[in-house]
Amino acid sequence: MGLGFTMCVRSCFQSSCLQWAWRTAFLKHIQRRHQGSHRWTHLGGSTYRAVIFDMGGVLIPSPGRVAAEWEVQNRIPSGTILKALMEGGENGPWMRFMRAEITAEGFLREFGRLCSEMSKTSVPVDSFFSLLTSERVAKQFPVMTEAITQIRAKGLQTAVLSNNFYLPNQKSFLPLDRKQFDVVVESCVEGICKPDPRIYKLCLERLGLQPSESIFLDDLGPNVKAAASLGIHTIKVNDPETAVKELEALLGFTLRLGVPNTQPVRKTMEIPKDSLKKYLKDLLGIQTTGPLELLQFDHGQSNPTYYISLANRDLVLRKKPPGTLLPSAHAIEREFSVVGTPFYVMEYCPGLIYKDPSLPGLEPSHRRAIYTAMNTVLCKIHSVDPQAVGLEDYGKQGAYIPRQVRTWVKQYRASETSTIPAMERLIEWLPLHLPHQQRTTLVHGDFRLDNLVFHPEKPEVLAVLDWELSTLGDPLIDVAYSCLAHYLPSSFPVLRGFNDCDLTQLGIPAAEEYFRMYCLQMGLPPTENWNFYMAFSFFRLAAILQGVYWRSLTGQASSAHAEQTGKLTEFVSNLAWDFAVKEGFRVFKEMPFKNPLTRSCHTWARSQSQWYPIGTRSYSSVPEASPAHASRGGLVISPESLSPPVRELYHRLKRFMEQHVYPAEPELQSHQASAARWSPSPLIEDLKEKAKAEGLWNLFLPLEADPEKKYGAGLTNVEYAHLCELMGTSLYAPEICNCSAPDTGNMELLVRYGTEAQKARWLMPLLEGKARSCFAMTEPQVASSDATNIEASIREEDSFYVINGHKWWITGILDPRCQLCVFMGKTDPHAPRHRQQSVLLVPMDTPGIKIIRPLTVYGLEDAPGGHGEVRFEHVHVPKENMVLGPGRGFEIAQGRLGPGRIHHCMRLIGFSERALALMKARVKSRVAFGKPLVEQGTVLADIAQSRVEIEQARLLVLRAAHVMDLAGNKAAALDIAMIKMVAPSMASRVIDRAIQAFGAAGLSSDYPLAQFFTWARALRFADGPDEVHRATVAKLELKHRI
Ligand SMILES: Cc1cc2nc3c(=O)[nH]c(=O)nc-3n(C[C@H](O)[C@H](O)[C@H](O)COP(=O)(O)OP(=O)(O)OC[C@H]3O[C@@H](n4cnc5c(N)ncnc54)[C@H](O)[C@@H]3O)c2cc1C
């Protein structure tokens, strides 16, 4: 059982109508402190007679955890210590040390040598050993001390069964109070280590128990497994708090003492006890000479909260933090002379507070019941009639959301430390999307699971905490706010979430269901602009986090975590923006289409309706498009709706394609089939100069990556999509306009992550079209669709990195102009999976790069760039060629592949349009069985099918580009994966139909169809196979969609 505290809107010693309302609604079940009662979830009476504890990792911090921190501080490659501890298994130095077969000195010698060999640097293992055994680190977890006391109070035995060692002073290392245990078994004393079964048997023998009568806790799998195989009940400990909860469930009684979630008052948060005691004695009329006990709750980032015990009264005091405050936050107004800042005092309410919203240790049905109770209590709050309880003046009437938006924008601005793009977008977006209709009820303002005190034995809310933000307002704010945890990860430091958990398995209702439950209980229709409320709630959370951060910078944070939490503002603001984007699409989908039978669609960017004949790919705009839409620029789905300068650029490119590119295709094609094919075609070089002269050059770099248009044309992704599609109608145009893969991805990589020196050396020649480049990731020996498999090694050696590896399918590596290879390999195979890889810029003239052969795609070589198989043998690369730093490769590859993937898709739409155009011309001119092919029903059906599929895919491409523009590449992950799933197979089908309609000529090199087909098929692998994108879409669908 845990204990909590109640908090009402005003001091509970002040007579107030709200207090009455609140008490009638929620305080029916308040009980006095309630020790020893069972959790309503417990599994029943216990048959256990002893609990056996491992030491490191259970009672005190594990060596692994101490090592991880020490390694960071001493710049030792992460994982070195743990790996060296495990080295040699049973006969390694660590295990021999535990069995006292070697002394501490002997162990440290061997261990130091091992660590240095593994990390290729000298490792001061003495310093690690001193830290590990220091009093500062080797301290028993308070939660375990409490648990042991409770277990013994219930008459059960306790034991410690530890793999430990002798210190240099010949004493065994056991930094515990031995009196807590009936039995102590130490490996160094016995000469036997876990997981050897003999040591468990020894422990049981000394306890005088059968295996089934005891529970064993250890943090290491093999030790737990060995105990379980003897018939002992086991708990694998990942974190002591959770382990104690599991133990409670097995034992069936509470293991907590005193006031949970409290700690001694923090130094900076002390309050004068004497004046407080005098104040309370006067207020409550207490005659006592006894002490005032004061503890601080670890709850309450913004307003420090204290537990007070005075003469049998258990109270809670909540006050404003000291120092300068942001306007109108922390609305606590009371007599501040007593404790230095305004405060209020209230009664303490015992009960359970669930801090982890995933409710570990509970049955799924209980979790569901908890969330249902939470929903019910919210409905009760929202059903209070403010007038009936005298609260009609509790807040301003009406326009709650606009006021809230203004307030939180103001709060954010007052604590802003740097520009956060998503916050800026939201500040613009929120006022434009305010709900039209709002109800007004009592609003809690911070309604979350951990602000509720639950009955210890049943799923019932006893009290609701944290009313500082309560007022009269739109109740949907509370519903949305109570769903924040659904979208936050479990590792989120301030507000733990569960977006990485399987809700169905947990039994927790999804956000959508929770929301529906609320509407049903309240008798309301479901609200459609739910995403607005989520966007606003996350915006508000971001503003709060920024405030905490700001206070941490000015040294007033009421928590040591403040600085860390504030840095999360950006993360949360991106989440908020995701919802804004979803809401945008909902509005978009609901906008009326003028005439659904014509291929006419609206754009928000134009104010006037225009109609074009069918087939010219022109679209109208909705006449009644709101100024809001017009001002922020909507999804431009036709080239005719592009802004005038970009439209002009589009038409210039179109003319260039018609005048220069299509006519050059036969010559370029025959060059690719000639003996000179491995040298660049002079015609391409000539056309490149022409394109450059016409400003049709480097169009691909998105404005977002190059906001000052330093390197490129400064187009948005949507604008580029229209131009890229046009270039995609010819296989040669992308290179002619310096917009071809893999150079585009590599150039973007250099713009985003390159140092100035790297940019000067590599980016400039690439931008000028003088050099070409390749990207080397895929390896023949591993499944490279999972980039974490990549094995090529990047090893440090003096001032160089030395690379060794075998790569294949490296597009462009055979081109004599290829000067740069962007190489992906592993710098640290022991780091966490996504921190092992790094990206290195490898000059192609470095000795040791051996091209083995060009690979072919359905027999095509794709000269002069080709797709090469290549070995890298002891290739020495200067250290300054590392991009971003070791371990950042995965992050870079994700960034690089995002835009690249969508460029391919844009071009695939171009392939398809060209194929369909060629097919239409062909079937009109050929006659078979007495009539033109175009009059055959199947041909017509094929044409129709192709048109529909192209349109569908184009819309999805444009949507992905639009989301990238609005919310960034990361936020567009789902859209990018969707289009990557759709575009290559769509193009394959469309091109295949065109080939079929052409007859055998379609397969020849007289037309671009065969080459288009080959590329479309290859693009179902390149940039990741279809299945990987499908998996991404499914994962995101299951995780995020509400
Ligand atoms: C024309 C062309 C150009 C290329 N250019 C380059 C380049 O420039 N640089 C470079 O580094 N690489 C390049 N590649 C390689 C390409 O990126 C890889 O082929 C691709 O990532 C797949 O890796 P793999 O071939 O090792 O297939 P594997 O990883 O072995 O996968 C094989 C198959 O397993 C299945 N599969 C994989 N994952 C899943 C999953 N999660 N669920 C279900 N099924 C799954 C899929 O069917 C997949 O096709 C190119 C490839 C081609 C065809």
Q: Averaged over 203-226, what is the pLDDT?
A: 95
Check residue 299 and give its pLDDT. 65
What is the band of 74 on the pLDDT scale with cuts at 50, 70, 90?
confident
Q: Averaged over 560-569, what is the pLDDT?
A: 65
CA of 785 to the centre of ligand 1 (A): 5
- Whether 68 and 231 have beta carbons less than 8 Å apart is answered as no
Check residue 609 and give its pLDDT. 28
Check residue 4 and give its pLDDT. 29
pLDDT at residue 623 tops 50: no
What would the pLDDT profile of 326-362 be if each residue is shown by its tens digit? 544 445 444 456 777 888 888 888 778 888 899 887 8
What would the pLDDT profile of 492-535 be if each residue is shown by its tens digit? 877 889 888 888 889 999 998 999 999 999 998 887 888 999 99
Q: Averaged over 658-676, what is the pLDDT?
A: 95
Check residue 733 and give its pLDDT. 97
Residue 821 in contact with ligand 1 by CB distance below 6 A: no
Q: Averaged over 719-738, what is the pLDDT?
A: 97
* Distance between CA atoms of residues 434 and 532, nearest Å: 8
Residue 778 in contact with ligand 1 by CB distance below 6 A: yes
Q: Is the dihedral of CA 725, 726, 731, 737 positive or negative?
A: negative
Residue with tokens 């290559």: 984
Check residue 33 and give its pLDDT. 29
DSSP string, 408-428: HHHHHHHH--S--HHHHHHHH
Q: Which atom of ligand 1 is nearest to the CA of 1023?
A: 17
Instruction: Return the residue whose CA atom lies nearest to atom 2 of ligand 1.
Output: 1022
* Distance between CA atoms of residues 200 and 141, nearest Å: 23
* Distance between CA atoms of residues 275 and 282, nearest Å: 11
User: What residues form DSSP beta bridges with 868?
Assistant: 810, 854
Check residue 871 and give its pLDDT. 97
Instruction: Return the residue whose CA atom lies nearest to atom 32 of ligand 1.
Output: 783
Residue 783 in contact with ligand 1 by CB distance below 6 A: yes
Residue 1031 in contact with ligand 1 by CB distance below 6 A: yes
Q: How many CB atoms lie within 10 A of CB 328?
A: 10
Say which residue, 384 or 608, is predicted with more confidence: 384
Contacts by 626-635, CB closer than 8 A, 24 or more apart = 628/432, 629/604, 630/604, 630/605, 630/606, 632/428, 632/429, 632/432, 632/604, 633/604, 633/605, 634/588, 634/603, 634/604, 634/605, 635/588, 635/603, 635/604, 635/718, 635/958, 635/959, 635/962
What is the 3-state composition of the chain as percent helix, strand, coil, each rounded to the nearest 5? 45, 15, 40
Residue 550 in contact with ligand 1 by CB distance below 6 A: no
471-473 and 441-443 beta bridge pairing: antiparallel
Highest mean pLDDT pick, 60-64, 347-351, 358-362, 778-782: 778-782
Q: How far apart are the first and last CA of the chain?
A: 34
Closest listed residue to residue 477, CA positions, set 506, 520, 434, 510: 434
CA of 981 to the centre of ligand 1 (A): 14
pLDDT at residue 71 tops 60: yes
Say which residue, 674 or 709, is predicted with more confidence: 674
Check residue 959 and give its pLDDT. 94
Residue 546 in contact with ligand 1 by CB distance below 6 A: no
* Tokens found for residue 158: 């306790």
Query: DSSP H helical segments within 633-714, as ranges?
Result: 644-656, 662-672, 682-693
Specify the range with the lowest mean pLDDT, choosing from 251-265, 359-373, 410-424. 251-265
- Whether 585 and 962 have beta carbons less than 8 Å apart is answered as no
Check residue 702 and give its pLDDT. 80
Residue 1025 in contact with ligand 1 by CB distance below 6 A: yes
pLDDT at residue 912 tops 80: yes
* Tokens found for residue 602: 């609206």
What distance separates the 2 farthest-apart alpha carbons in the chain? 114
DSSP string, 457-478: SSS-EEEE---TT-EEE-THHH
262-263 and 793-797 beta bridge pairing: unpaired
Say which residue, 444 or 343, is predicted with more confidence: 444
CA of 730 to the centre of ligand 1 (A): 25
pLDDT at residue 605 tops 60: no
Say which residue, 489 or 618, is predicted with more confidence: 489
Q: Averaged over 614-641, what is the pLDDT?
A: 49
Check residue 398 and give its pLDDT. 77
Check residue 555 and give its pLDDT. 61
* Tokens found for residue 870: 């290549």
Q: In what order do the strands lie in the sheet with 313-319?
A: 262-263, 293-297, 305-310, 313-319, 343-347
DSSP string, 43-90: -------EEEE-SBTTTB--HHHHHHHHHHHTTPPTTHHHHHHHTTGG
What is the band of 965 on the pLDDT scale with cuts at 50, 70, 90?
confident
Residue 1015 in contact with ligand 1 by CB distance below 6 A: no
* Tokens found for residue 353: 């507070």
Q: Which atom of ligand 1 is nearest to the CA of 857?
A: 1
What would the pLDDT profile of 787-833 be if each residue is shown by its tens digit? 889 999 999 998 899 999 999 999 999 999 999 999 999 999 999 88
What is the band of 629 on the pLDDT scale with cuts at 50, 70, 90?
very low
What is the band of 632 on the pLDDT scale with cuts at 50, 70, 90?
very low
CA of 1031 to the centre of ligand 1 (A): 14
Give per-residue burial for 614-626: e unless 16+ CB within 10 Å, then b.
eeebbbbbbeebe
Residue 434 in contact with ligand 1 by CB distance below 6 A: no
Highest mean pLDDT pick, 2-6, 143-147, 230-234, 965-969: 230-234
Share of the chain above pLDDT 90, in %: 55
CA of 783 to the centre of ligand 1 (A): 7
Instruction: Return the residue whose CA atom lies nearest to atom 11 of ligand 1.
Output: 777
What is the band of 12 on the pLDDT scale with cuts at 50, 70, 90?
very low
* Distance between CA atoms of residues 168 and 810, nearest Å: 57
What would the pLDDT profile of 468-496 be if each residue is shown by its tens digit? 889 999 999 999 999 999 999 888 877 88
Specify the range with the lowest mean pLDDT, choosing from 87-101, 300-314, 903-917. 300-314
Share of the chain above pLDDT 70, in %: 87
Check residue 842 and give its pLDDT. 98
User: What residues contact residue 414 under an 8 Å CB cut-off, 6+ apart?
Assistant: 326, 327, 547, 550
Q: Distance of CA 649 to CAs 234, 534, 652, 711, Å?
A: 70, 40, 5, 17
What is the band of 612 on the pLDDT scale with cuts at 50, 70, 90?
very low
Q: Distance of CA 717 to CAs 580, 725, 817, 891, Å?
A: 19, 12, 28, 21
- Mean of all residue pLDDT scores within the chain: 84
Check residue 16 and give its pLDDT. 28
pLDDT at residue 156 tops 50: yes
Q: Which atom of ligand 1 is nearest to the CA of 811?
A: 8
Amino acid at 896: R
pLDDT at residue 26 tops 50: no
CA of 295 to the centre of ligand 1 (A): 59
What would the pLDDT profile of 103-136 be if each residue is shown by its tens digit? 999 999 999 999 999 888 888 999 999 999 998 8
Q: Averaged over 147-151, what is the pLDDT?
A: 86
* Distance between CA atoms of residues 488 and 496, nearest Å: 7
